[in-house]
Amino acid sequence: MPDVARVAARPYPFSPPDRLNLDPLYAELRRVEPLTRVRLPFGEEAWLATRYVDVRTVLGDARFSRAASVGRDEPRLTPRQIEGGILSMDPPGHTRLRRLVAKAFTARRVEQLRPRTRQIADELIDAMVTAGPPADLVEHFATPLPIQVICELLGVPFADRHLFHVWSEAIVSTTSLSPEQIHEYLDNLYRYIGELVQQRRREPTDDLICAMVRARDEHQDRFTEQEVVQLAAGLLAAGHETTVTQLPNFAYVLLTHPDQLARLRAEPARVPTAIEELMRYVPLGVASAFARYATEDIEVGGVLVRAGEPVIGSLSSANRDETVFADPDRLDLGRETNPHIGFGHGVHHCLGAQLARMELQVGIGTLVARLPELRIAVPEPELTWKSGMIVRGLARMPVTW
């Protein structure tokens, strides 16, 4: 088993994000150097896993720990150290917190939200049609849809969206915000959620934040006030930021693959399958982070990872692994076998995966059904892409129909 810990580290990300194109170096590494040394903009050096089987190992094997990142100079894309909380925990602490909210995100509970989500999507399309083209799909559809859904689920006033949507950028910023702004926005977000928690104590309601408060007050030995506030804030931010980004990404991919879009319009029942393929195909992150630390010496990709070394798994590269997905760089909405890991894997598998799936199905399904002549309203090179964030996506997407 080779021990190549002294190999010089590559700068990572390998290149600036180019729309939704995945750097070709990932494919080369999967072939010749599936576990490679990298140096992120901040923190210590790490191993990067690029093959599907190795990424699943890093994310799913209990010998790799997120909790071990606490107190370390974790490899990261941002100047600030990653906040504590559920993302920096291992079982059983992670399990304890996840159970606090898991029931709200089961497939059954999410399906109960589908009719209301369809209603919101239809109302947004109605407003766009009434105002007439062109319209910014990001502002008028992709942003309000998941925000309103997560607000109603958690019990957060939708009228406050212009506040917390701005503050949530602190979660996904690399350089778009200064360290001082990130600190200020996070403080604002936590203070806002803390006030909602106190309000629920005074005036109980039927929503997820109230259920969390009730569980905290009934089991004070199990949950701290800070854990409840951080978890609720994380759900609010993560519960809309990624879907706000992916809805325009998916629409962009479909509109730039007219053969696949035509197939979807002809067979709308394929929307769920199409969403899974888009989850595989679209690389949401500009790079991978959230390193796992080896708790003992372990072989990954034929390389010895020593105890205490951090390893990062690239979901985007794993989802393009040619040993798992036939013709992986081709968008194929008819792909029936699709074990992608776009929502992660293991104990940190995205808690809101079922909610995101449903919202994406409803969002894309509604656009396809209601706006059959939808198209991008400007030349493709003139589209504006987000920058300085850990996610890649369109800042604006002018469309017409």
pLDDT tens, residue by residue, 319-346? 999 999 999 999 999 998 999 999 999 9
**pLDDT at residue 5 in the model:** 47
pLDDT of residue 386: 92
The encoded tokens of residue 114 equal: 């589908």
Q: Which residue has the tokens 């920096």?
A: 88
Q: How far is CA 25 from the centre of its chain?
A: 23
- What local confidence, expressed as pLDDT, does residue 222 receive? 81
Q: Give CA–CA dist 120/181, Å, rounded.
A: 32
Residue of 59, 51, 53, 11 lying closest to 28 (CA atoms): 51
Query: How would residue 383 be classed by pLDDT, with cut points 50, 70 and 90?
Result: very high
State how many domains the chain has.
1
Please check whether residue 369 lies inside any domain of the structure. yes
Q: How confident is the model at residue 177 (pLDDT cuts 50, 70, 90)?
A: confident
pLDDT at 67 over 50: yes
Before 134, cis peptide (omega within 30)? yes
Buried b (16+ CB within 10 A) or exposed e, 224-252: eeebbbbbbbbbbbbbbbbbbbbbbbbbb
Whichever domain contains 199, its CATH number is 1.10.630.10
In a domain, 3, yes or no: no
Question: Distance (Å, rounded) from C-alpha 9 to C-alpha 225?
Answer: 41
- Per the domain annotation, does 2 fall within a domain? no
**Can you tell me the distance from the alpha carbon of 103 to that of 312, in angstroms, rounded to the nearest whole number?**
29
Choice among 40-49, 54-63, 81-90, 258-267 with the minimum mean pLDDT? 81-90
Determine contact, residues 281/256, Cβ cutoff 8 Å. no
* Any domain includes 1: no
Name the pLDDT band for 308 (thresholds 50, 70, 90). very high
Which of these ranges, 112-121, 233-242, 335-344, 368-377, has the smallest mean pLDDT?
233-242
User: pTM to 2 decimals?
Assistant: 0.93
Q: Tell the residue number behind the tokens 């319009």, with chain if given.
A: 265
Domain that holds residue 308: 10-400
Give tens-digit pLDDT for 92-126. Answer: 999 998 988 888 888 888 999 999 999 999 999 99
Say if residue 292's pLDDT is above 60.
yes
170: left (phi over 0), alpha (psi -120 to 50) or beta: alpha
Q: Give the span between the Cα atoms of 243 and 120, in whole angstroms.
A: 15
Backbone angles phi, psi at 99, to 5 degrees: -65, -25
Assess contact for 247 and 358: CB atoms under 8 A: no
Nearest-angstrom CA–CA distance, 85 and 101:
14
Q: 303-305 and 292-294 as β-strands: parallel, antiparallel, unpaired?
A: unpaired
- Averaged pLDDT, 168-172: 85
Of 363, 361, 343, residue with least CA distance to 148: 363
- Is residue 51 within 8 A of residue 324, CB to CB? The reply is no
